[in-house]
Structure 1
Amino acid sequence: MPDIIRIAAALLIDGQGRTLLVRKRGTQAFMQPGGKIDATETPAQALVRELHEELGLRIDPAGARHLGQFSAPAANEPGCEVHAELFRVDTCDAVNPAAEIEEVIWLEPGQPVVVQLAPLTRDWVLPLYRKVLSAPR
């Protein structure tokens, strides 16, 4: 039975419809911004804290739309599985990589992915992102 890591993650979408992927220092895989949920936090509170720590973003938790819970093998912790509470967050604010974030990329919906992706991002988040942006408004 794998160890479970509970995280809050953001499908962060900018005004041009692009989504942000981040790569943590010392790792290869790109993933959604976010991180572990502390014992005293709700998933939305963890998301607000992580986006501020990692990217300098200040978001209103009421503006984060819960998209569901998704699970996948952890990208950086062998033998572990992430259980992610995924939220859609729309922002036009600039992001400033900080804390453990080494690199960020903005990805357009139809853009081919040429970087290594975390399993959660590859298997769940990007397919959902493409579906969300292709849905009629």
Structure 2
Amino acid sequence: MQSILHVYWRFARGMTLGVRALVIDGEERVFLIRHTYVQGWQLPGGGVETGETVADALARELAEEGNIELDDGGTPALFGIYFNRHVSRRDHVALFVVREFRQPRPPRPSREIAAHGFFHIDDLPAETTSGTRARIAEVMHGAPPRRDW
């Protein structure tokens, strides 16, 4: 049943929009997650739901996946918008850089999130996805941004 819904979703829906966050702590480490349903370590994020703003989706996804709360005074900086052809020909992802946040306690593994952590950019997990590595290089090392995720 799930595969039938996935096929329908890929071909019947209009453009989709997602958010991802490059969360950077005071030690210049980045927060990554590993989902239970896809391979590799990734930046936290997800889809923008109907009637939801991009800012609300970002805050929701960070809370759900990382128990990360955005500081009231801090505004995440939009870094770029990418075409994510790996998901569909209609998918776009807005990448935000988050430096002002709090994490009252580490998140607990769940059905969605198998593992999480803050990692130094020179010591990322071996299974970090190529898209995640590229976004980190763009933000942290000034690598030329690509249009595709």
Q: TM-score, normalised by structure 2?
A: 0.70
The match for 2:98 is 89
The letter for the 2-side match of 1:89 is V
Q: Distance in 2 between matches of 1:49 and 1:56?
A: 9
CA shift in 2, pair 1:16/1:116, >3 Å: closer
Bigger mean CA deviation after superposition, 10-19 or 21-30:
21-30
Q: Higher relative contact order by CA 8 Å / sep ≥ 6: 1 or 2?
A: 1
Number of aligned residue pairs: 126
The letter for the 2-side match of 1:29 is G
More strand by share: 1
Q: Distance in 1 between matches of 2:141 and 2:51?
A: 33
Specify which of 70, 90, 114 is matched with residue 102 of structure 1: 114
Q: How does 1:26-105 map to 2 (within 5 A)?
A: 26-60=37-71, 62-74=74-86, 77=87, 79=88, 82-90=91-99, 91-93=101-103, 94-97=105-108, 99=110, 100-105=112-117
- CA RMSD in angstroms comes to 2.6
CA shift in 2, pair 1:65/1:116, >3 Å: closer
The percentage of counterpart residues that share the same residue type is: 25
Please give the secondary structure, in 1, of the residue aligned with 2:28: coil
CA shift in 2, pair 1:120/1:43, >3 Å: farther
Compare CA radii of gyration and give the structure with the larger one. 2
**1:39-98: per-residue Cα shift (whole Å, max 9, x none)?**
211211100111112222221475211111122343xx5x56641111111135343145
1:9 and 1:35 in contact (8 A); partners too:
yes
2:69 and 2:102 in contact (8 A); partners too:
no
Please give the secondary structure, in 2, of the residue aligned with 1:104: strand
CA shift in 2, pair 1:81/1:15, >3 Å: farther
Q: TM-score, normalised by structure 1?
A: 0.75
Unaligned runs of at least 5 residues, structure 2: 1-9, 143-149
The letter for the 1-side match of 2:18 is I
Unaligned runs of at least 5 residues, structure 1: 133-137
